[in-house]
Structure 1
Amino acid sequence: MVFIPFFILCASILSILGVFLQVQVYAAPVFRNSTDDTIIVSRDDSYLDMTQYLSAHNTIRALHGASLLTWSEDLAAGAQTWADACNFKHSDGVLSEVPYGENLAAATGGEFDINAAVESFMGDEESYDPSSPTFSDFTQIVWKNTTIVGCAYNTQCGNIFPTSSGMATLHVCLYNPPGNVVGEAEYVSFSFYELKANLAFHHNFFLTLCGVSTSFLLVQASVFFDLRFVK
């Protein structure tokens, strides 16, 4: 029987838990042309927009156990066509030859940037009940079977809200394969928030067991991850 010193066992367990508690999510800044699968690399404004849309979506998807999306120029072109026309209504499938899901967001009275738009898509997250699922912009973002996205915006839409409200910014995102399909699983129900909470509990348990103060955990936690697991 191999004897492992207690302090080494403690250090090993805490190291493993610490790695998981420092999980970070990101979006790779590349995208594919959906017709020929060619990797596109650019450094202009459209590239920056693409990376922001991807990062905003993929950060959320990672928290719900869904794979990272890649960029579709075809879907982005369709989204731009719809945004340029300032159509704040669903397009009913006219923007692409492939089926797609669709999220729209518009606002006036200040800068409504890409991150704000994607955050607005998440408005139904808190009310989502896995035991009685409903479809929404949120479920489209985290839909497991969706693999590509293309988005666009227009900052000069004067016909969406009353004239007195000023110009609106409209964001349009298209997704393929489309989400919100009856009978398919939306996303992994064991969310990243629950995972972090469970890891933090066990991390605290082993710290106490190994004679390390809980205050040390709180200091480390404030550095490595946000203790506010839910909004």
Structure 2
Amino acid sequence: MNSHFFFCFFVFLTFTTKTLSMFSTSPQSPSSATQLYDKYLTQQKKPNNDTIYKVSKQLCWGCMAESVEFLFRHNIVRSYKWELPLTWDFQLEQYARWWASQRKPDCKVEHSFPENGFKLGENIYWGSGSDWTPSDAVKAWADEEKYYTYVTNSCVSGQMCGHYTQIVWKSTRRIGCARVVCDDGDVFMTCNYDPVGE
């Protein structure tokens, strides 16, 4: 709770001091005020990948590099929406590894449970050939953002965006993922999320 307060206070303080200094000049026309605001937005720091990587490693203590990669890539996507980083959960990883092992013989793109029949979120990914990485899977899921309408909290008609919304879902806190090279040489990856998103 205190860390949330400190972070919010820091962001507010940073925004307030920069904004006040930027807008405290003499009265201006609406177009120049818009230009000043646009300038302010472009000066805002984008999320720092090095910092996100270090935080992700701390939130995945004792993890293999592949697990850190899954977590890091998720936390980058979340940082662009100012959401708290996810932490690695070894029970969710164990469940994901179990499901990936079930898919190893056939690499079938199939969820581990019927739709609306489970209390965890789940994203799945399949790639032809054995070179696909956790970064590729998370990028594919995150690319669905272009099909998501924030105002209505819905996907563009005929498009999928649920993989993206699961990644950035505000109440989701824990993740566990697995990657397997299937018997046919293709790759299957799965991530489970708790609490489930929409």
Amino acid corresponding to residue 116 of structure 1 in structure 2: D
Deviations 1:24-72 (A, max 9, x none): 241421347xxxxxxxx33xxx521121111100000010121100000
Decide whether aligned partners of structure 1 residues 109 and 30 sit closer, same or farther in structure 2, where only a CA change above 3 A counts. same
Q: Give the TM-score normalised by structure 1.
A: 0.56
Identity %: 24
1:192-203 correspondence to structure 2 within 5 Å:
none
* Structure ID, larger Rg: 1
1:66 corresponds to which of 59, 68, 83: 83
Tell me, yes or no, if the aligned pair for 1:157 and 1:169 is still in contact at 8 Å: no
Which residues of structure 1 form unaligned runs of 5+? Answer: 1-8, 33-40, 159-166, 181-231
Superposition deviation, residue 118 in structure 1: 0.6
- Match of 2:151? 131
Match status 1:175 vs 2:193: yes
Please provide the CA RMSD for this pair.
2.8
Distance (whole Å) between structure 1 residues aligned to residue 87 and residue 101 of structure 2: 23
Distance (whole Å) between structure 2 residues aligned to residue 21 and residue 76 of structure 1: 33
Amino acid corresponding to residue 120 of structure 1 in structure 2: A
Distance (whole Å) between structure 1 residues aligned to residue 123 and residue 162 of structure 2: 9
Decide whether aligned partners of structure 1 residues 124 and 19 sit closer, same or farther in structure 2, where only a CA change above 3 A counts. closer
Aligned length: 147
Deviations 1:158-190 (A, max 9, x none): 3xxxxxxxx21011100000001xxxxxxxxxx
Decide whether aligned partners of structure 1 residues 128 and 53 sit closer, same or farther in structure 2, where only a CA change above 3 A counts. same
- Match of 2:17? none
Match status 1:111 vs 2:128: no
1:48-197 correspondence to structure 2 within 5 Å:
48-86=65-103, 88-92=109-113, 99-109=119-129, 111-132=131-152, 133-134=154-155, 136-158=162-184, 167-180=185-198
Which residues of structure 2 form unaligned runs of 5+? Answer: 1-20, 26-39, 156-160
